A and B are shown apart, each in its own frame.
Chain A
Amino acid sequence: MVISVVVNGTRYERDVEPRMLLAYFLREELRLTGTHVGCDSSSCGCCTVVLDGTRAVKSCTMFAVMADGHAITTVEGLEQNGKLHPLQQAFWDNHGLQCGFCTPGMMMTAYAMLRHTPNPSEREIREGISGNLCRCTGYNNIVKAIAQAAKELTTVETVTDEIAAPQKETVPS
């Protein structure tokens, strides 16, 4: 089945097996391997990507064909023009990662959360990322990182606008 999906601002048209999960479409068809797969039951959140700029979805629980006509942002789409996204910078600054396996999914969940809740309390952050497991950090530093990124994003309006608008779309040759 042929689908048309915009991923990180680039439109892709691909013929996919109807059972192919979005996670494997991203990882194996597009070779965007920052989206990870850590469980079979939609529990760990390592595969989280953002749908249409605002909604965090677990790409292991969505078929690639369900993404037809939608825009997907993955971890590879966070950095813009050589500048780290405030979430990426904050995870680095606050030692918010250790093995790094949960990190992309964790950041994408936070990205969508901060679109809805720009000034989250600690409790709201913890609730917001409760669908994402981390086995290394104990979450303290992840919570700190997201709070730092929230502050950064609300004080720099242009950055907020930048993540709100889907990136300029290009079609690969």
Chain B
Amino acid sequence: MTATLGVPMKRKEDPRFIRGKGRYLDDIVLPNMLYLALVHSPYPHARIKSIDKSAALAVTGVKAVITGEDLNAAKLEWLPTFHGFDKQMVLAFGKVLYQYQEVAGVIAETREAAADAAELVEVEYEPLDPVVDPFESMKDAVILRDDREEKTNHIYHWEVGKRDETDAALAASPVRIKERIVAPRCHPAPLEPCGAIADMNTATGRLTVYLTSQAPHVHRTAFSLVTGIPEDKIHIISPDVGGGFGNKVPVYPGYVVATVASVILGIPVKWVESRTENLTTTGFARDYHMDVELGATTDGKLTALKVSTVADHGAFDAAADPRKYPAGMFGIVTGSYVFPAAFAQVDAYFTNKPPGGIAYRCSFRVTEAAYAIERAMDILASELKMDPVELRSLNFIKNEQFPFATPLGFVYDSGDYETTMRKALSLIGYDDLRKEQAEKRQRGDLMGIGVSTFTEVVGAGPGKHFDILGIKMFDSAEIRIHPTGAGIVRAGTRHQGQGHETTWAQIVGEELGLDPQDLLVEEGDTDTAPYGLGTYASRSTPVAGAALALAARRVREKARKIAAHLLEASEDDVEWKDYKFSLKGVPGKAVTMKEVAFAAYTNPAPDSEPGLEATYYYDPPNMTFPFGTYVAVVDIDRETGAVDVRRFLAVDDCGTIINPMIVEGQVHGGLTEGYAIAFMQEIKYDEAGNNLNTNFTEYLVPTALESPSWETARTVTPSPHHPLGAKGVGESPNVGSPQAFVNAVMDALSPLGVRHIDMPLTREKVWQAIRGATA
């Protein structure tokens, strides 16, 4: 037996996927299953005057048409949002509040009949003026939500830090910059859309729901709360999930309507959203308008940070943030730097857009925060005429300052920012690139180098601070070792491509000296897996990964007793060494975990409990703080505005690494999403509230042609409080990269006097900036 931690083991889940034998939601067909199609509003803001179902009901195969009024009668018209501040309409009643809002559901024997009949549901609307811009919404000229007691579009004010102290520090700073930095609305768009199959068994009273879910246990609790069905009568199965990126965390109206229909009809009902439904109704992210102010001394020492944000949450505040943190972990906005004073505030508003605020491949608003500070640092560097790298280095939190308490309330666990940055600069050849750039500038060529030295915060809990629906953000693991030394490992997480079936087996294999190939990993079935909060916010390895290691150590403690019995020694004389139990001081006298497992069932010690299994619920004492330095090198064509990302290097530090192949894969994928956000992906609305990006021909995501070739490297600074020292990595590349791209483009355009352009940096925007500057 050799080490299994840190080994680039090929993935155990791949054999089924490469054979086309994955089992995704839409692959599941149940006997007599019906199909749900939803009817959507063409208007972003309108009163519903009447709904006529008759033509739809006349279509062959149609079983039922459900409207908001029907749900009202059953008291199922609202569904809770995860942080509990707001609720969301299941099907619109009274008013529609965003274009494509779900207005009715048609249940039919075939997908096609349901779709045909949905076209025939006649809804009479009285259009109202839409409010699309949060800066208009805040004027409260039109109150969008009739249902709320508070007659305002303002949802919440959240703040952290010391306002007066920060204002004073800014006023006293010899150098100040202020910039409006926008993280535009975008969408995760996993390739598998969201969907559900609800199957009410009227004989047993048990509801099984197959769900594209990143958090099946939370969904079980939510379903129980919405429907009133006791939680033991609800079984959620999250089958193979075709990508999530945050899109599959919330509960959506389609899930609820399919469930209501199945409960009423006693027949399974399937709903799978189309791509257009995906891009118009579920899973919006960002929409943060941030005014960022930095103060510094003339030699570049930071004095203060102030960020005031207007957040557009759409028609319902359906953000999946922890209850006490309506703006998520936005307090991470101080980044990797020491600030004597800092203050951040967020004011959120309703608009006539779909519910926003999901955490798109980020741990609740961390992407917005990292973008704000890293852009602002470059703007300050430019103001100070300093190299942005030297400005960062001067202000980094130093190694000896960890654990480091930030002025905005986090305690960073560990970091070595200077080493990681120097490694990146050396690998990319930073000094040579700056020389090349100077030469090119002489010729008028636009070349830019962008750096991001980000810190993110992941791995929620601890439970005392973070919860979803009131449930503490712990996670869990259960390990059962069979007589032959094989075993089954279950966790409360639910992977969507992150490779848990492999990495979880590696963790348990390492702790127990067993072959990961013999350890089956299972997630996503609420009947069998221990309760967990799910996979998002880069929390699986920091939280469930810790639970797995600690559950395995519990197994090992029990195994030690059995080993002592087999070695005819006292427990104190048995030590775990080189993946075996050895008798101290007696070379060669040892038993393997396999032998112990067999004995646990065939020859346990007298008066001991047979079997070999353990469960662990892990509530982390702190979050983890992965960091990294990313460098982008771009060349811009003056004539067309085309940006060529010539090189991109990511040096990540995510603590201890379980599987370097998977870590690198996560980084590649996140960088491509970061690229997409920087250059391509935006969900835009026109003034009339029309979504302008309703499918993949309008919402552009990168193909292999646009996507740069990624270079990666790592440093390892373990987390001191995680049992393995691991920090989580899935989101770092998405959190860390957009600003590296934007900083590079702005660096290239800086000789023209261009200071900032908001993402996405489309060719047209870049071209206009060049034209505007040179006209």
Contact = CB atoms under 8 A, between A and B. Distances in A.
B704 A143 contact: yes
Interface string B1-25: 0000000001101111111111110
A100 B276 contact: no
A28 B29 contact: yes
A130 B704 CA distance: 6
Contacts of A92: 10-11, 14-15, 18
A137 B684 CA distance: 26
Interface string A80-124: 000010001001110101111111100100000000000000000
A13 interface: no
B11 A99 contact: no
Interface string B693-720: 0011100010111010110000000000
Interface string A115-143: 00000000001110111111111111111
Nearest to A131: B703
B565 interface: no
A169 interface: no
Interface in A120-172: 125-127, 129-143
Q: DSSP majority for the B interface?
A: loop
Interface residues of A, number: 57
B240 A19 contact: no
B191 A135 contact: yes
B20 to A, nearest CB: 2
A35 B664 CA distance: 27
A74 interface: yes
Interface stretch (B399-407, B667-675, B749-757): B667-675
Given A92-B15, A135-B190, A140-B709, A32 B703 contact: no
Interface string A33-75: 1111111110110100000000000000000000000000011
A88 B17 CA distance: 9
Nearest to A102: B191
Contacts of A100: 13-14, 16-18, 22, 240, 242, 497
Given A40-B695, A92-B10, A130 B703 contact: yes
B707 A76 contact: no
B329 to A, nearest CB: 23
How many residues of B sit at the interface, in one of the four size bands?
A: 35 or more
A88 B95 CA distance: 51
B18 A91 contact: yes
A79 B19 contact: yes
Nearest to A143: B704
Contacts of A134: 191, 704
A99 B497 contact: yes
B191 A84 contact: no
A99 B697 contact: no
A101 B23 CA distance: 10
Contacts of A39: 275, 695-696
Contact of A135 (B29, B697, B701): B701
B275 A32 contact: no
A91 B243 contact: no
Nearest to A41: B695
Interface of B: 10-11, 13-24, 26-27, 29, 111-112, 188-193, 240-243, 245, 274-276, 496-499, 661-662, 664-665, 668-673, 695-697, 701, 703-705, 707, 709-710
7 contacts: A40-B276, A41-B695, A44-B191, A84-B18, A95-B661, A126-B705, A138-B669
Closest 10 CB pairs of A and B: A34-B20, A101-B242, A100-B17, A99-B497, A138-B668, A98-B497, A43-B696, A75-B20, A138-B672, A33-B27
